[in-house]
Structure 1
Amino acid sequence: MFRGKTEEIQGKSIKLNDQKMNKYRILILVLFSGMAYMGSSCSTSEKEEDQKPPNIIFIMSDDHAYQAISAYGYGLNETPNIDRIAKEGAIFTRATVTNSICAPSRAVLLTGKHSFVNGKVDNVQPFNWEQDNFPKLLQANGYQTALIGKIHLDGLPTGFDYSMVLPGQGNYYNPDFLVDGERKRFEGYVTDITTEEALKWLKEGRDQEKPFLLMYHQKAPHRNWKPAPEYLTLYDDKDFTPPSTFFDQETNYAGRGTAAKTQEMEIDGHASWGHDFKMVIDPYGDSTGFDRELARFNPEQLAAWNAAYDPKNDAFKEAFGKGDESTFSSEKKREIAHWKYNRYIKDYLRTIKSVDDGVGEVLDYLEANGLAENTIVVYTSDQGFYLGEHGWFDKRFMYEQSFRTPLLVRFPKEIKAGTEIDKLVQNLDFAPTLLDYAGIQAPQEMQGESFRNLVSGKTGEWRDAVYYTYYEYPSVHMVKRHYGVATKRYKLIHFYYDIDEWELYDLEKDPNELRNVYDDPEYEDIKIKMHERLQELREKYGDSDQNDQKYLDAYLKVMEERKNR
């Protein structure tokens, strides 16, 4: 009896356990399915993240020489934040420009076309905003775009959802900005304001769901190098040694042609006591007009400025301001030139300190907000600059210091940290490269090439020569019109208009470009090859003597109109 009951109970028990097991099986299946779904979901999310178009922050400073970025190893100053881009990405050691002057360089950046094609050959001709530019193409493909800082191109910028730009050169202190075309004055220091407004747009002004392009452009370190209040005495305890070629003018630029001898960009000779060396009264008791520039300062800014500069100016005048300069010994003249160089280079580097601070703030924002991995960060300048080489300031020449420009790019997804590129990349390449990263086909009329595969290490193939033009003469600094071709080792330049001179340099043997070997019989074969290469590039890009004449006529017409106003 009990056995039967037991069997019955056991049978029910077995049936009950089967039911429980079925439930357990279902539960396990559900759990595994959920985990699989979650895994699949994560995988999909990661894929979606990888497929997101990259954000782009394009940082351009004005006249920032590669020699004044510590990553390039010249030892002049420290730029730890700009260096971060190189350490975590790539540094380009032979990046160059197509036309070494502010507005034309920016037109090339936007359009990906040489100056004689986009029409902005100098700082005088108008820029046609109606033509395609790469921000317009990004905007048309879902990007939100902003331009904040200096662009130095007349007219309302197009291709941007938001623009806040300096009118012309702008002011270092209490600058005006054109905010979507409306002029507004901002109290403070221009570099700090540009950074603050760039960060404000990143935090509050953009659609957080869209990829973005931010063109974050600083005025500094453009002439006349007014430092921020906190850096007015930076480097006061340091004496900078001028470059080895600083006193080239003493030999009348021996070994070079007319263009080097007739320029007007010498630190000791063409820079002014007021505008450049910051004296209201010059060493000989004459007013310089610099007080008119100081009128823009508020009382607090002016007090800080005077406290920093007056003692230094007075000390110089006490030491060198007495007597007739024409009677000074060559040694004393050199001491004055040395002082001028130090006043120039210290102010120049002081303005860069603020630029570097701003770059650090932007990079920190990207890190703190999880944007660093999918954001391309570019740091560059509109061209290079002379920091006393050959005794000069400014740019314009095809000689190395103004022809080359700093270029550092970070994009963790594709660019290996510590990459170094020595190929002849140009500012002509920025537009097609950034479009390539965004997955957008560059228009056929863009003349540059994408260096995306070059910097990622997918290819080592690249162009072997670059083409250069310069048109703004006769004008400020009096650098002759010229065009030329450069390879990794050689450079051929033709100076024209009121002269007809050729210069050829061997950069391997003569990195300072002190000896023109154009007429040297040993370089005859090289000269022939460089002429052939020059002609090939002029044909490739569509340049000609007719272009030179067209833009010369247009330039002279504008200058004559200005003269007659």
Structure 2
Amino acid sequence: MLWIRRQNETYIGPSLHFRTIAEILNDNGYSTSGISASPIVGSGTSMDKGFVYFDQTCGHVSINQRRSATDLNQQVFKWLDTYQSGQKPFFLYIHYMDPHNFYRPPPEFVVFGRQGYELVDDEINKKLNTISENFGVSGITDEILEKSGLSHADISRLIDLYDAEILCVDHYIGELFQKLKNRNLYDNTIIVMTADHGECFLEHNNIKHGGSLYKELINVPLIIRIPGLKGGKKIDRLVEQIDIVPTILEATRIDTKQQFSGTSFYCMMTGKGDCGDDQGMAEIPGRNIRTLMRGNSKLIVSPEEIELYNLSSDPGEKNNIKDQRPEMVDELQAALENLISRLKINQTEPVPANNKDLEMLKSLGYIK
């Protein structure tokens, strides 16, 4: 969602010269629609490229007063009610904003952890925002927490609220599935569910999102349903979000000459064909922080330090073993540099962000 390509220059949105999946599907006979509750996913950032219809009315509020999943579903259901069987096949992009700070789940979903916090939940949310505004989202110490009046018990409460928002979205996605079934659309619809990022709650002295590449931030759900393929299969191999578009195109049997940085993982679901290397990469270009995961090994490289973790014995990424495994550091660094070269990360020019965009990105926690 956010591109930072040159030092001191921030970009948001796809390159104007890069064809989106909506454009590709539109060219191949699909009716393309998008409905977004995000204030930065829409026409202002060219993220509506290729959509014949794009509704961002649920995103036209401040982040602290954002519309909930129930508001978004109302717009989605209105669109589904206009779709008639026998029309062109459709591609519908739905962008929920929950879970996201401020963490304000509906009361009926607050079923985790201790009770009795309800009267101070907003106050705790405000204190968390004060910390990010004054100190950023990384390197948050106990001293900073104390100065801000936020305790570890308060952090636990925020986790409870975050979990409640996840439960809330799960409920409304269930309602969406039922709506598809009621319209006799479910059985013939490919469904892809994922998230743009996780959230940090001091696992590595970070809060919110945007400041690190640890698993709590970059390991996100990816659930795919494809008609005709048996469900219930868990795939342990690494995939990236840049792999989703080529996977959808292969599943829909659309052949395009466009070159993608990602690779289809359709073979992992069918069990047929060569699925390539078991590795994945993520980055924060503006801070020159990158990670490469290969199998059970994870390398994080930044200007300040190098970190190496064995994800099998240390899934929480707490024990840096770079000094014990220098040969693995060298191997993964070489692979990372080769991957960066192949991806040509800086080749496209995304849409530059204006001052209004920057303020919105700050409120969402993507930049400082």
Using structure 2 for the length normalisation, give the TM-score.
Answer: 0.77
AA of the residue aligned to 2:45: G
Change (3 A) 1:190 1:429: same
Change (3 A) 1:207 1:373: closer
- Give the whole-Å Cα distance in 2 for the aligned partners of 1:203 and 1:121: 47
Q: 1:137 aligns with which of 24, 34, 39?
A: 24
Change (3 A) 1:138 1:420: same
2:33 aligned with 1:159: no
Contact in 2 for aligned 1:239/1:342 (Cα 8 Å): no
AA of the residue aligned to 1:124: T
Residue matched to 2:10: 124
Deviations 1:366-408 (A, max 9, x none): 2223222211111110122224523543233221121211111
Instruction: Output aligned runs, 1:552-563, within 5 Å.
Output: none
Give, in angstroms, the shift of residue 535 of structure 1: 2.2
2:365 aligned with 1:488: no
2:153 aligned with 1:339: yes
Deviations 1:502-524 (A, max 9, x none): 22222223222222222x2x412
Which stretches in structure 1 are left out of the alignment for 5+ residues? 1-102, 105-114, 176-188, 241-260, 272-324, 327-332, 473-479, 560-565
Residue matched to 2:221: 406
State the SS of the aligned residue for 1:508. Answer: coil
The structure that has the greater radius of gyration is 1
Deviations 1:130-171 (A, max 9, x none): 520011110111111111124524335121121112558844
Give the structure with the larger helix fraction: 1
Give, in angstroms, the shift of residue 215 of structure 1: 0.8
Residue matched to 1:211: 89
2:138 aligned with 1:264: yes
Give, in angstroms, the shift of residue 492 of structure 1: 1.8
Contact in 2 for aligned 1:482/1:493 (Cα 8 Å): yes
Change (3 A) 1:404 1:237: closer
Change (3 A) 1:167 1:372: closer
2:92 aligned with 1:201: no
Change (3 A) 1:155 1:263: closer
Deviations 1:292-333 (A, max 9, x none): xxxxxxxxxxxxxxxxxxxxxxxxxxxxxxxxx78xxxxxx9
- Give the whole-Å Cα distance in 2 for the aligned partners of 1:263 and 1:159: 35
Change (3 A) 1:538 1:455: same
Change (3 A) 1:387 1:126: closer
Higher deviation after alignment, 434-443 or 200-209:
200-209
Instruction: Output aligned runs, 1:61-460, within 5 Å.
Output: 103-104=1-2, 124-127=10-13, 128-150=15-37, 152-153=40-41, 154-156=44-46, 157-165=48-56, 166-167=58-59, 170-171=62-63, 173=65, 189-204=67-82, 208-228=86-106, 230-231=107-108, 234-235=111-112, 237=114, 264=138, 266=140, 337-396=151-210, 397-414=212-229, 416-459=230-273
Deviations 1:182-208 (A, max 9, x none): xxxxxxx53211111111111115675
Contact in 2 for aligned 1:144/1:210 (Cα 8 Å): yes
Contact in 2 for aligned 1:147/1:215 (Cα 8 Å): yes
Which stretches in structure 2 are left out of the alignment for 5+ residues? 118-134, 359-368
- Give the whole-Å Cα distance in 2 for the aligned partners of 1:269 and 1:199: 48
Deviations 1:203-228 (A, max 9, x none): 11567511111111101111111223
AA of the residue aligned to 2:53: Y
- Give the whole-Å Cα distance in 2 for the aligned partners of 1:270 and 1:150: 33
- Give the whole-Å Cα distance in 2 for the aligned partners of 1:456 and 1:145: 27
Give, in angstroms, the shift of residue 495 of structure 1: 0.8
RMSD: 3.7
Residue matched to 1:57: none
Residue matched to 1:256: none
Residue matched to 2:361: none
Change (3 A) 1:402 1:236: closer
- Give the whole-Å Cα distance in 1 for the aligned partners of 2:45 and 2:154: 37
2:316 aligned with 1:502: no
Which of 1 and 2 has higher RCO (CA within 8 Å, sep 6+)? 1
- Give the whole-Å Cα distance in 2 for the aligned partners of 1:359 and 1:144: 22
- Give the whole-Å Cα distance in 1 for the aligned partners of 2:297 and 2:283: 16
- Give the whole-Å Cα distance in 2 for the aligned partners of 1:194 and 1:369: 18
AA of the residue aligned to 1:539: S
Residue matched to 1:464: 278
Using structure 1 for the length normalisation, give the TM-score.
Answer: 0.52
Identity in percent = 25
Give, in angstroms, the shift of residue 484 of structure 1: 2.6
Residue matched to 2:363: none
Residue matched to 1:41: none
Between the two proteins, the alignment pairs up a number of residues equal to 330
- Give the whole-Å Cα distance in 2 for the aligned partners of 1:123 and 1:207: 47
Change (3 A) 1:452 1:129: same
Contact in 2 for aligned 1:129/1:155 (Cα 8 Å): no
